[in-house]
Amino acid sequence: ASSTAEATDQGPAEELRLGYFANVTHAPALVGLQEGLLQDALGDTKLSTEVFNAGPAAIEALSAGAIDATYIGPNPSINTFIQSRGESARIVAGAATGGAALVVRDGITSARDLEGKTLATPQLGNTQDVALRGWLKAQGFQTDTSGGGDVTITPTENAQTFQLFKDGQLDGAWLPEPWVSRLVVDAGAKVLVDEADEWPDGEFPTTVLLVRKEFLDQHPETVSKLLAGHEASVKWIADNAGTAASVINAQIAADTGKPLADAVIARALEHVTYSVDPHADTFSTLVENGVAAGTQKEGSIEGLFDLRLLNAQLATSGGTKISAAGLGEE
C-alpha cells in the first residue's frame, strides 16, 4: 500500500478531466459548465468533461485514470475507497444534499403495504439502494442482494424504472431527483418516504466531489481552482433561484438531447439543497447501512476526506470551516 510513494506537487495540470451526471443532483457541475464558472476558475488548465449515467462507470473511469475528478454519490466514493484501501480517491467537497425519496404506486400508503412488492433502486450499492435496504430493515423487512426476501429490490437503471413503473411492473422505487419528480409528475407516483426525514436535521449527502488521489497529490493547485469554481457554482444557484432551473435544464438538454419538463425540474429543485459541506459526520452511518445491507465490504474510511483545500478556500472567502468528522484532513 505504500509502494505508490507520496507523489510530489507538480504544479498546475494542463488539463482537468471532470465527470458528472446530467442530473439535478449534479446541478453545481451543470451550472458551472453552462455559466462557464468552472473554466473561469481553472484559468489556463483546460477543462474537459465526461457525462456518466451511473456511479460505477464514473468510479471505473476514475480508477482507470480516464478522469481526474467527478461529481458522484457518497456510497460509490466509500466503495472505491475501501476496495482500494484508500489509494484511489478523496472527497474534497460536498455538492448536494437531499433530493431522494421512496415513491410508490397508488394504493400503497404505509410500509406494511410493501410486503411482497417489487421496488427499484438505481444501482446495487448506490446511495439510494443502501438507503432503501436500511429503511426496509428498520421497518422489519428482510431483503437480500439477489432479489429475495419480503420485499424484492431490483436495481434497475432509472430510465428503465420509469418505463417499468408506468407499465405496472414495479410497485415503487427509491430514487434521486429528478426521477422522483418525474415519477410523481409524469407517472402518478406518490412519495411514501422522503429520505430527508430519515436523517437528523434532514441533511444527508447526495452528491460529493471526488478527486483521484494521484491527481490531488500532483496538482493540488488545480484542485484548488476546481474547488473555487465549484463553490462559485453552488453560490450561483443560491443567488439565482429564479433562473437556476432553466440553466440546469439547458445543460441537461445539451448532454442528453432532451430537457426535463418544467414541472419536473421545478419540483426537483425544491427537494435538493446545494452545499459544499459533504456532511462527513453521516458517512459512518452510510458505511454501517451499507454493510448491513450486504452491499459494502467492511473497511475503514478513515482518510476519505481531504478538506484542507476546501477549508483554505472558505477561509479566504469568509466561510465557516467544515469538519471531516475525524475521517480525514481538514
Partner 1 sequence: MRADTTASADDLRSLEAGLDNLQTTTDAGAGRFRTFWSSVLPPVIFVVLLIAAWQLYIVIADPRPDKAPSPADVLGALTYAWDTGRLQEAVLTSLERGILGFVIAIIIGTPIGLLLAEVRPIRRAVGPIISGLQVLPSVAWVPAAIIWFGLTDATAYFVILMGAIPSIVNGLISGVDQVPPQLRRVGTVLGASKWQLATSVILPAALPGYFAGLKQGWAFSWRSLMAAEIITSGGTIGFGLGTMLQQTRDLADLAGVLATIVVILGIGILIELAFFGPIERRMLRGRGLLLSGGTR
As a whole number of angstroms, the distance between CA 185 and CA 263 comes to: 7
Number of chain residues interacting with partner 1 (CB under 8 A): 54
287 is a contact residue toward partner 1 (CB under 8 A): no
CB 330, min distance to partner 1, A: 26
Output 47 or 244, the one with its CB closest to partner 1.
47
As a whole number of angstroms, the distance between CA 262 and CA 171 comes to: 25
CB 56, min distance to partner 1, A: 5
300 is a contact residue toward partner 1 (CB under 8 A): no
Output 149 or 319, the one with its CB closest to partner 1.
149
Output 120 or 268, the one with its CB closest to partner 1.
120
Stretch that binds partner 1, among 78-86, 132-140, 241-249, 304-312 (CB under 8 A): 78-86
316 is a contact residue toward partner 1 (CB under 8 A): no
List the interface residues with partner 1, window 58-77 (CB under 8 A).
59-61, 63-66, 76
CB 66, min distance to partner 1, A: 4
159 is a contact residue toward partner 1 (CB under 8 A): yes
CB 313, min distance to partner 1, A: 29
Chosen residue from 39, 45, 49, 53 binding partner 1 by CB under 8 A: 53
CB 275, min distance to partner 1, A: 26
List the interface residues with partner 1, window 167-206 (CB under 8 A).
167, 169
254 is a contact residue toward partner 1 (CB under 8 A): no
214 is a contact residue toward partner 1 (CB under 8 A): no
Task: Using alpha carbons, select from 128, 103, 72, 120 the residue that is nearest to residue 182.
Answer: 103
Chosen residue from 23, 25, 70, 79 binding partner 1 by CB under 8 A: 79
Enumerate residues 6+ apart whose C-beta is below 8 A from 95.
25, 26, 27, 28, 29, 71, 206, 207, 208, 209, 230, 234, 274, 275, 276
Stretch that binds partner 1, among 131-139, 147-155, 215-223, 316-324 (CB under 8 A): 147-155
CB 309, min distance to partner 1, A: 23
Stretch that binds partner 1, among 6-14, 23-31, 85-93, 240-248 (CB under 8 A): 85-93
Q: State the distance between the two ends of the chain, measured CA to CA, in whole angstroms.
A: 23
Output 240 or 256, the one with its CB closest to partner 1.
256
Q: Are 105 and 274 in contact (CB under 8 A)?
A: no
1 is a contact residue toward partner 1 (CB under 8 A): yes
Task: Using alpha carbons, select from 54, 20, 296 the residue that is nearest to residue 175.
Answer: 54
List the interface residues with partner 1, window 86-145 (CB under 8 A).
87-88, 118, 120, 123-126, 144-145
Binding positions for partner 1, rule: CB under 8 A: 1-4, 50-57, 59-61, 63-66, 76, 79-80, 83-85, 87-88, 118, 120, 123-126, 144-148, 152, 154-157, 159-161, 163-164, 167, 169, 294-297
